[in-house]
Structure 1
């Protein structure tokens, strides 16, 4: 039975890595085109980013010495200006995020397009009080859709040439409280720009 499980895991890894490789090649070649605007893109982007996050999480676990059975959970968020609280942002920009969780390990992948301005620079325009962990304009916060909750993590961002579109990524070890928040709609992703310092896009991570 154990041998069968290992073979099944390797098959999943092969499939998932194939998906991840294709998506990564597209996103690296052109971040803004990774969010294809010729389709109902937000929904498709969410699926793609979920697959990418899941693939990388499986690959990381497969490369470890553990033979544990994967118990993956996936989450997604569509980022829109209308979701910004308490004052929605009047913006034509949009984004999508997919995430995968195994145990307390969370991998996040996503992208965004057509921001009204470049990302807020927290080195020259810091939060009050200043927080050295805020290293980009894209964050995960703890809170519901009707709250402005505390900062949890910054995501790494790869920008297009004009700085208005890009891809985002992050890998985190969550606390029990953060996992509970994730599973109850209590973690959200937001994007802060120079035009919308408090947030231009936002979306709650949902299973």
Structure 2
């Protein structure tokens, strides 16, 4: 090997040795540092309760006048005339601003799928009954007439899910709400007359 080639080789080896020493003493040269990306919307969703949208609406509505809050604990023991045997549970929250009633809730562990009012309608059929979750008007110890159908979104099991709805109440319905005579119930295939029921009461 000529003297010139030997000199170039020594220089090359020296440079590589220096780079190796720098890399081991400073990890940033050998391993890039990745910073997690925080999306504000995702973080808010994690810390907010499931009924966050109703609470958020309430804050805005309270600035513009009186807002009344209600809730109903859905239980099989409230079903009239006979309480069915079930492990199902549910809860509903509602807000009244003027004549506008906003309802939101959830349920779980139904004994069977929801009643299908297309294939198993009431007699006579009522086209306004579009789901198996309803608002009725009546005494706690009686079955009252249908008022509104709630929108239902089932979970993967099909035995639980969420319900919601917004309605403009009549004067009679408002008075019934104030008197504890509006209730929510859920009907299933096994318990066609109702599996869960709860009265909307001030909260």
Q: What TM-score does the superposition give when structure 2 sets the normalisation length? A: 0.73
Cα distance change of structure 1 residues 26 and 103 upon mapping to structure 2, 3 Å threshold: closer
* Structure 1 unaligned regions, length at least 5: 1-17, 28-48, 63-67
- Paired with 2:200 and 2:132, the residues of 1 have a C-alpha distance of 18
> Structure 1 residue 153 and structure 2 residue 148: aligned?
yes
Alpha-carbon RMSD? 2.3
Residues 10-159 of structure 1 correspond to what in structure 2 (within 5 A)? 22=45, 49=51, 52-59=53-60, 69-159=64-154
Cα distance 1:58–1:175, how it changes in 2: closer, same or farther (>3 A)?
farther
In 2, the alpha carbon distance for the partners of 1:131 and 1:138 equals: 14
Q: Which runs of 5+ in 2 are unaligned?
A: 1-40
Q: What is residue 188 of structure 2 aligned with on the other side?
A: 193
Number of aligned positions between the proteins: 160
1:46 is aligned to: none
Q: Is the 8 A contact 1:57 1:107 kept in 2?
A: no
TM-score (normalised: structure 1): 0.71
Q: Using the TM superposition, give the Cα deviation of residue 90 of structure 1 relative to its aligned residue in structure 2, in angstroms.
A: 1.1
Q: Give the ranges of 4+ consecutive aligned residues of structure 1 lying more than 3 Å apart after TM superposition.
A: 21-27
Q: Is the 8 A contact 1:121 1:136 kept in 2?
A: yes
Bigger CA radius of gyration? 2
